[in-house]
Structure 1
């Protein structure tokens, strides 16, 4: 059991934060590696996994490299309670080299690091650009359509807990977060987390509460000496919550009415980066001949080019194809 010790300043500095990056990390996590997820995440992943771009691989590898979680620098210290993903990713890119190395060292010596973490260490902070680009690609392809509805549920959760604070105080609200978090009148929050034991003084920096839609079977903590401690907790049940998973908008692709939904998806896949016919087929969940037919139609329309490289051909956008995607975004999303 880990005991978080609060002072008066810590109670005053307890606040809620909505983090798109948190949801991207938990959404990318596998249940067999991180057992605190739940059915919401599983249902969401089954729905979107066919849309996962190849560019998302570095983030997926990092998230699932260790059962201990992700490095602390992925916690994104951004001074805003309703955060933009772009700002969170910029904060990751700004991590100092010494902090970067310290956070990775928590996973063991260099010889013991999981492959994804060792690769990251070898590349230094410059390699973080690949991680943030991967995160952005995964968000745009998979999480962006659902994010407005998820954020609505997070805001409802925060509103309900804020009413508890107004009625009964911060302690009462903290005591209702989760069965594994118990508030004591002496000003401590006792958190039951596997392999965690001891006591930690928040030091006046406060506590940052991050409700998470995908997290259902536990809580998560990120202790910090120079910033507020982070506590990630599940979203509570609300009468207005609606379906277990937020409904995906019926029309998410403005191109579908022009070139058809299948070829609109093909164009967007190629727009995320040049790819071979085999890669295109794998991403679309179709056979290579079917992917080749779609690519030929887009090539005839002047939207893509195809060049042979060795034994394979690779498809890339033309300027016309790029402009068409730019002028027809899938769905306006404010993150």
Structure 2
């Protein structure tokens, strides 16, 4: 079991990542590539990527011997380049100590890892090339879909938070989890284990050690075991980051002095999308529901509640209830002039419907 402990300050510092982050998503995909479960659904995807992954990406596996990753890989960043720049900016002492930790008792150590330990620029360039090669093969072809799915998940979270509160939005991210007395509890079991780039919580022995994972002893939470793991936010706050490749349990990025990042498997996941594709419209409808998505579409001009009800073929009360939920989520604005009430789409709704001009 994973237990995340909130203080009163932390409850005011929970935020949802505004956009997907390529480095964690890439590492989640690489982890899923090496995971044995859900073969029926993921077997074809694994086979295709395993054949396509270039040799230039092999150093990534050498960086995480035995599935234990150095913590300096724990970064976000809006682009792959930003993410790698954050990795590259890791202090030399941190890089050296982490490489020594993951290779403790392991021999032989690849020459390029020794060079990275010494701060060699050539070794850093090799890591950059490996990450770029993996990104171009695994993630770049589906990145627009990842962006669409993230926007839809963002909207789903916002709607639940607006209608039912933060606690409901948190537990909706993990069916079966619960929030009580300031502790968010995730039940253990299949998948609640090692994760990409040091993001994993310790898991059961039969769980996969992916191409990147964590030993769970980061110094800020109690180690895993029969009782699970405790993560204490201590006022640092929490960032929710949906991931669309990893289908296991929660992935925790817990670095001293930084907000804790919790990556959770969202929705049905990207590899299950028909033909590896999907559209923003399909994702939005799947999150909002057909009626609310259609309501946003018919607001191509300001409409009254009665006008919305007529266009949607529902009662005025139903149209009003849907409009209220969308308004609470920031997707709809309502203005009153005398006895007339008109609804319009907000800028956020336009962004979602148009697929995001800033892609």
SS in 2 for 1:112: coil
Deviation (angstroms), 1:85: 1.2
Contact 2:244 2:267 in 1 (8 A): no
Question: Structure 2 matches for 1:282-321, cutoff 5 A?
Answer: none
Cα deviation code 1:272-310 (max 9, x no counterpart): xxxxxxxxxxxxxxxxxxxxxxxxxxxxxxxxxxxxxxx
Q: How many residues are matched?
A: 240
Contact residue 2 and residue 185 of structure 2 kept, 8 A: yes
Which consecutive unaligned segments of at least 5 residues does structure 1 have? 250-333
| Cα distance, 1:159 vs structure 2 | 1.4
Is 2:112 the partner of 1:112?
A: no
Q: Does 1:247 align with 2:240?
A: no
Counterpart-to-counterpart distance in 1, 2:124 and 2:76: 16
Could you say what the CA RMSD is over the residues aligned between the two structures, in angstroms? 3.3
User: For residues 36 and 207 of structure 1, what CA distance do their matches in structure 2 show?
Assistant: 29
From 21, 27, 46, give the equivalent of 1:25. Answer: 27
Task: Please list the CA deviations of residues 160-204 of structure 1 after superposition, one character each: whole Å capped at 9, or x if unmatched.
Answer: 012111222222112122246x23221111233426234332021
* Alpha carbons of structure 1 residues 187 and 100: separation in structure 2 relative to 1, 3 Å: same
Query: Cα gap change, 1:5/1:21 in structure 2, threshold over 3 Å: closer, same or farther?
Result: same
Find the counterpart in structure 1 of residue 292 from structure 2: none
Residues 65-84 of structure 1: matches in 2 within 5 Å? 65-68=65-68, 70-78=69-77, 83-84=78-79
Give me the whole-angstrom Cα distance separating, in 2, the residues matched to 1:203 and 1:121. 36
Structure 2 length normalisation: TM-score? 0.58
Shift of the 54–112 alpha-carbon distance from structure 1 to 2, 3 Å rule, reads closer
Please name the residue that 1:140 is paired with.
136
2:325 corresponds in structure 1 to none
Secondary structure of the structure 2 residue equivalent to 1:139: helix
Q: Paired residue for 1:290?
A: none
Q: Name the counterpart of 2:48.
A: 47
Question: 1:205 aligned to 2:236?
Answer: yes
Match for residue 155 of structure 1? 151
Distance 1:138 1:60, change over 3 A: same
**SS at 2:185's partner residue?**
strand
Any conservation in 1 of the 2:31–2:246 contact (CA below 8 Å)? no
**Structure-1 separation of matches of 2:37 and 2:108:** 21
Gaps of at least 5 residues in structure 2 are: 193-202, 205-223, 280-357
Partner of 1:166 in structure 2? 162
Contact 2:2–2:229, Cα closer than 8 Å, also in 1: yes
- Asked if the contact 1:207–1:229 (Cα under 8 Å) also holds between the matched residues in 2, the reply is yes
For the 8 Å contact 2:178–2:185, the answer to whether it is kept is yes
Normalised by the length of structure 1, the TM-score is 0.61
| Paired residue secondary structure (2:4) | strand
- Who is 1:5 aligned against? 5
Q: By how many angstroms is 1:234 displaced?
A: 0.6
Contact 1:36 1:218 in 2 (8 A): no
Say whether 1:236 aligns with 2:229: no
